[in-house]
A and B are shown apart, each in its own frame.
Chain A
């Protein structure tokens, strides 16, 4: 059971203090604690975006944001745009008004906040960037066209509103089934002591755990969350001794932006770009995705193909290194011991290394993979070396296709034997038939995904 904690942050330019269970969602604190009901609850899963707020300038889903993570942050909600006038005064909102971008209005505050987050960093986004940013905000009324036109019209005029600062303070007494223990550094892990008696999880971004909690799926939440987000050891990306090191707490958006990752692990960047929505990518982390051990986890295929390893830290302070393809035992379960967490992901790099990623999805954004394929190799004198080929969502876990790798290793770029690789991949897969896709389709997507990725990686390479 949780102890209430007091958390202070900046809210709409004023100061906010809340005493509440630490794993309570920011959404509930805003709505129930501060009566800021402009931020809406549409799903509780980070799918609809109606609860979007800005945290340090980035749009996030307030429903998946544990309030303890708000400490010291700068948060803006839709109420920041309300200056008490009879009608709207901010130019962005005015564009929404005159373009007919509001119908039922329930998605509107979230859409406005997403847009604010976009225009705040990119004052003049392309239409594609606007659509990408909005992909995490479902609207069932407008068909999005009027919203996009409104945002286009607001280009180069956006400024963050500066509302009259208010003091926000509240106390929410509630028995919360989940407690959070924040760690300042990994050494503190050793001091926790009684780990075995807890049904514990590690939390960083919370984009999975908070979903379980909002759905009251307490088997999946456990009762104690060890919060790693403040541990400096899990942050940062560096290149050292021909290896790329990525902190487990790196968010998807950080991965996408990082020049090293872009240079040495394009497959991972491609996967990161396609995870969830912008709001999810701002919070979800690489380590969290691995720890969640989903068969469709987006990080697995690229990391397996790239031959990555995770470094872990156990509660006794010991470290070990585990290849990513050996991390998962069964769906939802890694081989990590109780109290052992992923701290870092590393992989060998080389200038000749190429990698690519393919994900089959039912719509253009925000979707779980029906199939994912990642391929990596280097080319030495027109010969393919050290290939890595991995598949996701077509088995109990993402896996390396060793037969396909053996086929490919040492082949010339002019005759890579793609048909054999495809056959080996299909042979190795155990695609399920479910509501997301048929078995036949998954097999076809392995075929297409492998061919597309191989063609992409080999294109332009005819020396």
Chain B
């Protein structure tokens, strides 16, 4: 095992093999939550608030109770256990009973024979009370007269604050050659996973509860179910079903869905199914936090960055949920992978009367990276330096350079990533100044190039380190098939395949022998959430750890068969062999037969704890925030239609140093998919609320106006650019076979690169997403260029 990976041919690692979950999905055999049936199953529908703000509420369920097929209508008072969803701060009720704090907030559950009956009856639940003016923006949230949505450790309506200070930026402003101050804004983004939320819950004769469904984090769900029912966690089993996408949207909010389903099952003593409609999924589920970010940055005459001051405000929505940790990641990465001589970052996340915002691929970073990478370009522009060159001069490039939190990193590879994307898009040949003339519909489309860099701390980091561990269980059966249980989930990203490749490699077993079970909380200890691009490192290491124990048994038996010393045993595609006599190998199957007959230990649990991290949250916000970072660079080439002013991305090169690609084709799949989601964030995706957006409907403020795919505009197959994924592989010493993670980084840098390309094309700077043609029109009108 000690031989370096590069010295030998790998069995499974680094191969673009077909994922094990794919055939069933292709054939329509895969069973998602909505596909599951149970004997005597009842259906649950959620009654929701039709306004965004109401206090002293009364919930009238009498009409609903008398509707056809209705078995039971459930409100908060029926909850036997904890009435609040367990999370960082447990402020969100499972069912509202005193106040309505957002449009679509759940107030009651209707259990009926059919889904249609449950849905009809849910609409008959009446909520009355005193309406108040909902708080819809971060500016309103702090207003003197604004409604008090949340009171905690800080001022009114502030969920959490962070502060990072290194040196004194004020000292650097006078000596900076150029200083800019700008404000940037980003909107909500909806996950738009294709499978809506869904859960199946049932009780068995021992009073144990089993919940199955669509989710990213079975251990969060287990917590929530035990909590709402007042049951010991040992009596709650959570099993993840095939899950149709998550992107963060099935991180914490699935706990609500599961809690509701479990409650309905417990109170009706029947198996129940709770499947969301698309509309309620849009209305009530989490989104990416909107942001307002103010940035002041400077550079000296040589074009070197001096200091940064960054003020971040995130809109957390009605309840705190994951906002504190989203804010932390946003804060820690806000100064980017740059060498600053001094910096100050202050951040806060505030309450508004909108659906609670939470995890979404990038977790607070896409917002701060959009702001910073836009500002870096604006600064380069003022200095009259090519923005790519400006970045090359200033990015963290050596192991002695430090991040905002004062952390040094191993082999930062942004420069290499930049070089690769620049080469791919031919930056040096194509990058020219902006078109600054009149934009008439009959001129040629206007092209532009934009770049961005980012870094991404993999895993939960210092503020989430309590949860940063993972378990696994591996058992080699007597027929040499291998069953593997992991605590992280397959949500489409390819986790099962990666785990199979790691198990195959470590055991020297043929890949097709490996069977990865679905995540089941009764089989693996709490392994933390499937988030933060952490599964490859965390579950991967846990699987390796378990496989290494079994491998010792296999090596012992192989040494006996081959009549050599255990230390001499090596493996390759053929199986186990004696390094001194490599021509003869014993197959994995054979070694397993022998080892089984010899009563060797053929199963093992595995455990992995992430390397220690630190963050001085009470002090200056310094520390080793994350144990490793993915280094990324993007270049986007766009074309602007001179008539419609729409931005069309033509090419996007996206490079990421992920340590090691376990399955390169699937890594490219993550990059392509993440880039397109980032492009949607950049160009078209936005949630609209009455009170903020004019509407012809006459509705109270705070109602979501576009809760569906016809109003919320995601990219289609006709909107895609040519995407060039580029994988860099500087091994991570603690990663399984050197791997880090890739889930989130591809989305993060796309929007600023597009904004920078728009600026390069037309000489106009749009500081708010999405970069819709309406905004470009406004700028052109301001400049008198139509």
Residues of A near any B CB (own CB < 8 A) = 31, 35-45, 47-48, 50, 77-79, 81-82, 86-88, 93, 96-100, 102-109, 112, 130-132, 134-148, 174-175, 215-216, 360, 362-368, 432-438, 440-441, 444-445, 448, 451-452, 455
Bound CA–CA A116/B520 (angstroms): 36
Bound CA–CA A42/B31 (angstroms): 15
Q: Do residues A366 and B716 form an inter-chain contact, with CB atoms below 8 A? A: yes
Tally B residues with Cβ within 8 Å of A.
87
Given known A40-B195, A103-B494, contact A109–B717 (CB-CB < 8 A): no
Quick one: which of B713-772 are within 8 Å of A by CB? 713-720, 723, 772
Q: Do residues B675 and A106 form an inter-chain contact, with CB atoms below 8 A? A: no
Given known A367-B713, A435-B688, contact A47–B708 (CB-CB < 8 A): yes
Collect the chain B residues with CB atoms within 8 Å of residue A44's CB: 277-278
Q: Do residues B278 and A42 form an inter-chain contact, with CB atoms below 8 A? A: yes
Bound CA–CA A368/B245 (angstroms): 26
Q: Do residues B675 and A143 form an inter-chain contact, with CB atoms below 8 A? A: yes
B619 CB, nearest partner CB in chain A, Å: 41
Collect the chain A residues with CB atoms within 8 Å of residue B723's CB: 143, 145
Question: Closest chain A residue to B780 by CB distance?
Answer: A444
Q: Do residues B192 and A37 form an inter-chain contact, with CB atoms below 8 A? A: no
Contact with A along B438-478 (1 / 0, CB 8 A): 00011000000000000000000000000000000000000
> What would be 22 A-B contacts, judged by CB atoms less than 8 Å apart?
A37-B31, A38-B27, A42-B194, A43-B708, A48-B278, A81-B26, A88-B26, A102-B21, A103-B494, A104-B195, A105-B26, A106-B193, A108-B26, A109-B26, A138-B192, A142-B673, A143-B675, A363-B718, A365-B718, A365-B719, A435-B706, A445-B644
Q: Which of B493, B666, B673 contacts A143 (CB 8 A)?
A: B673
Q: Do residues B720 and A45 form an inter-chain contact, with CB atoms below 8 A? A: no
B178 adjacent to chain A (CB < 8 Å): no
Bound CA–CA A99/B665 (angstroms): 8
Question: What is the total of A-B residue contacts with beta carbons within 8 Å?
Answer: 239
B216 CB, nearest partner CB in chain A, Å: 11
Collect the chain B residues with CB atoms within 8 Å of residue A37's CB: 28, 31, 34-35
Q: Do residues A97 and B18 form an inter-chain contact, with CB atoms below 8 A? A: yes
- Among B51-59, B418-426, B691-699, the one that faces the other chain is B691-699
Q: Do residues B29 and A43 form an inter-chain contact, with CB atoms below 8 A? A: no
Collect the chain B residues with CB atoms within 8 Å of residue A147's CB: 717
Collect the chain A residues with CB atoms within 8 Å of residue B193's CB: 104, 106, 140
Residue from A50, A141, A145 whose CB has the most chain B CB atoms within 10 Å: A141
Question: Closest chain B residue to A147 by CB distance?
Answer: B717
Q: Which of B26, B196, B279, B705 contacts A93 (CB 8 A)?
A: B26
Given known A93-B27, A104-B195, A434-B695, contact A138–B22 (CB-CB < 8 A): no
B701 CB, nearest partner CB in chain A, Å: 14
Bound CA–CA A191/B19 (angstroms): 60
Collect the chain A residues with CB atoms within 8 Å of residue B578's CB: none
Q: Do residues A103 and B493 form an inter-chain contact, with CB atoms below 8 A? A: yes
B252 CB, nearest partner CB in chain A, Å: 19
Q: Do residues B194 and A107 form an inter-chain contact, with CB atoms below 8 A? A: yes
Q: Do residues A78 and B18 form an inter-chain contact, with CB atoms below 8 A? A: no
Collect the chain B residues with CB atoms within 8 Å of residue A112's CB: 26
Q: Do residues B28 and A38 form an inter-chain contact, with CB atoms below 8 A? A: yes
Contact with A along B8-23 (1 / 0, CB 8 A): 0000000010110111
Q: Do residues B676 and A365 form an inter-chain contact, with CB atoms below 8 A? A: no
Question: Closest chain A residue to B193 by CB distance?
Answer: A140
Bound CA–CA A78/B28 (angstroms): 6
Q: Do residues B717 and A148 form an inter-chain contact, with CB atoms below 8 A? A: yes
Collect the chain B residues with CB atoms within 8 Å of residue A103's CB: 245, 492-494, 669, 673
Given known A131-B717, A138-B194, A139-B194, contact A38–B29 (CB-CB < 8 A): yes
Q: Do residues A78 and B27 form an inter-chain contact, with CB atoms below 8 A? A: yes
Question: Closest chain B residue to A450 by CB distance?
Answer: B441
Q: Do residues B774 and A438 form an inter-chain contact, with CB atoms below 8 A? A: yes
Given known A100-B16, A104-B195, A106-B245, contact A448–B774 (CB-CB < 8 A): no
Question: Closest chain B residue to A113 by CB distance?
Answer: B28
B593 adjacent to chain A (CB < 8 Å): no
Q: Do residues B693 and A104 form an inter-chain contact, with CB atoms below 8 A? A: no
Contact with A along B246-286 (1 / 0, CB 8 A): 11000000000000000000000000000001110000000
Given known A143-B673, A143-B676, contact A131–B718 (CB-CB < 8 A): yes
Q: Do residues A145 and B720 form an inter-chain contact, with CB atoms below 8 A? A: yes
Q: Do residues A140 and B709 form an inter-chain contact, with CB atoms below 8 A? A: no
Give the 7 A-B residue pairs with the shortest CB-CB distance, closest first.
A38-B28, A104-B492, A105-B25, A106-B244, A435-B688, A47-B709, A143-B672
Collect the chain B residues with CB atoms within 8 Å of residue A130's CB: 717
A403 CB, nearest partner CB in chain B, Å: 22
Bound CA–CA A135/B16 (angstroms): 28
Q: Do residues B694 and A434 form an inter-chain contact, with CB atoms below 8 A? A: yes
Q: Do residues B720 and A143 form an inter-chain contact, with CB atoms below 8 A? A: yes
Q: Which of B19, B246, B277, B718 contacts A135 (CB 8 A)?
A: B718
Question: Closest chain A residue to B770 by CB distance?
Answer: A362
Q: Do residues B277 and A433 form an inter-chain contact, with CB atoms below 8 A? A: no
Question: Closest chain A residue to B281 by CB distance?
Answer: A43
Collect the chain B residues with CB atoms within 8 Å of residue A445's CB: 644
Q: Do residues B27 and A216 form an inter-chain contact, with CB atoms below 8 A? A: no
Q: Do residues B119 and A138 form an inter-chain contact, with CB atoms below 8 A? A: no
Bound CA–CA A31/B718 (angstroms): 30
Q: Which of A134, A174, A438 contacts B717 (CB 8 A)?
A: A134
Collect the chain B residues with CB atoms within 8 Å of residue A79's CB: 27-28
Collect the chain B residues with CB atoms within 8 Å of residue A143's CB: 669, 672-677, 720, 723
Collect the chain B residues with CB atoms within 8 Å of residue A448's CB: 441, 643-644
